[in-house]
């Protein structure tokens, strides 16, 4: 039976893994909105590019936060 310390390490690893995956997900949605031939969200092209840029930047921000938090632990 795993002890409490091993359980906490597993939880922290799972948290970092999920947060990193979500950062990559937002980055990929942002990139996909740039290369999609049709507007991704049914918006006009300039708004779709703005939304794609926001997704991309937010994904970078989330990934950076996970990296810094992982590095400090």
Query: Tens digit of pLDDT for each residue in 10-21?
Result: 888 999 999 999
Which pLDDT score is estimated for 60?
97
- Residue 1 to residue 71: CA distance in whole angstroms: 29
Other CB atoms within a 10 A radius of the CB of residue 21 amount to: 13
> CA of 27: how far to CAs of 6, 8, 10, 30, 47, in Å?
32, 29, 26, 5, 17
Q: Which is higher by pLDDT, 60 or 3?
A: 60
Arithmetic mean of pLDDT, 46-64? 91
Which pLDDT score is estimated for 2?
62
- Residue 6 to residue 44: CA distance in whole angstroms: 50
Query: Tens digit of pLDDT for each residue in 26-54?
Result: 999 999 888 876 766 666 778 888 888 99
């Amino acid at each position: 039976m795993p002890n409490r310390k091993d359980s906490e390490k597993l939880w922290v690893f799972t948290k970092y893994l999920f947060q990193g995956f979500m950062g990559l997900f937002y980055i990929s949605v942002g990139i996909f909105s740039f290369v999609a031939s049709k507007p991704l969200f049914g918006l006009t092209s300039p708004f779709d590019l703005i939304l794609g840029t926001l997704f991309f930047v937010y994904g970078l921000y989330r990934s950076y936060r996970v990296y810094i938090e992982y590095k400090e632990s």
